[in-house]
Amino acid sequence: MFGSSNRGASSYAKVGLETSVVAASPHKLIVMLFDGALVAVLSGLMHMRSGNIPEKGKAISKAIQIIDNGLRASLDKKAGGQIAENLDSLYEYMSARLLTANLKNDTDIMIEIQGLLTELRETWNAIGAAPAVVPASDVAPVRISNLVSA
């Protein structure tokens, strides 16, 4: 009468994800992209090991899409300079390796890409946890009299 509970749970999860995306900072959005790519790679690896070829292909394609259309597309090569250029090359490498893993059913490549994504995610999280450094020249002086009268 009301449809399957699985569809309801899926809709609830989708709303939760959409809410998370809307409320997330740009830094958190990149972490979410890394998480999505990692889940897709792990799913592809699991399906590869179990011989489920169609699902393996879907998962690996999703990982490639997240890397190319999310992580790679978010790079600002002008502002990011050499770091952005290096990340672009690394993302291109990962996508090509995932394609090879899919074609050759190579679990070692999948594990390699999982390791790279995990390392990048951890580094990105460490950057986000570091307090921002504000030059002293950018901090406006505060007078005690202004605070007392406020």
Percent of the chain at pLDDT > 90 equals 59
Q: Is the pTM of this model over 0.75?
A: no
Tokens representing 40 are 């897709």
For residue 131, what pLDDT band results from cuts at 50, 70 and 90?
Answer: low
Average pLDDT over residues 60-72: 97
Amino acid found at 137: S
Average pLDDT of the chain to the nearest whole number: 81
Tokens (6 digits) for 74: 């978010």
Ordered DSSP codes for 33-80: HHHHHHHHHHHHHHHHHHT-HHHHHHHHHHHHHHIIIIIITT--HHHH
Question: CA quadruple 6, 8, 11, 13: dihedral positive or negative?
Answer: negative
Res. 14: pLDDT tops 70: no
Count of C-beta atoms within a 10 Å radius of residue 103 = 10
Which of the four pLDDT bands, split at 50, 70 and 90, describes residue 142?
very low
Are the C-beta atoms of residues 116 and 97 closer than 8 Å to each other?
A: no
